[in-house]
Amino acid sequence: MKAMHMVTHEEHHGIPEGFAALSIDDNGWVGTNNGHPFAGQPALFPLTQAHAICYAWNTYDLHAMPCPENVAPEVLEWLT
């Protein structure tokens, strides 16, 4: 599984405080202004949302999910 990483103001001063950009190993930025993960400007997420997305991506075991029927299909599609 490819890991997701947060880039915050501490790592890159071009990112406003309280926000983070997300990237996935070998897949580029999560969300860009032109739809191209390696060429576009990365989307900025509020820090708490970025933490939640990163946590879900890096630790969610879809095979051990207790109630997959309670997760929206578009969320499952994004996580897989």
pLDDT at 65 > cutoff 70: no
Specify the higher pLDDT residue, 29 or 7: 7
Residue 28 has pLDDT above 70, yes or no: yes
Range of the domain at 8: 4-79
Rounded CA separation 40/65 (Å): 33
One-letter identity of residue 21: A
The alpha-carbon radius of gyration of the chain (Å, integer) is: 14
* Mean pLDDT (whole number) for 49-74: 76
Q: How far is CA 40 from CA 21, 43, 46, 56, in A?
A: 12, 9, 19, 24
Structural domain count of the chain: 1
Reported confidence tier of residue 79, pLDDT bands at 50, 70, 90 = low
Q: How far apart are CA 79 and CA 77, in angstroms?
A: 6
Residues 24 and 17: beta-carbon distance below 8 Å: no
Query: Does the pLDDT of residue 15 top 90, yes or no?
Result: yes
What's the pLDDT at 42?
87
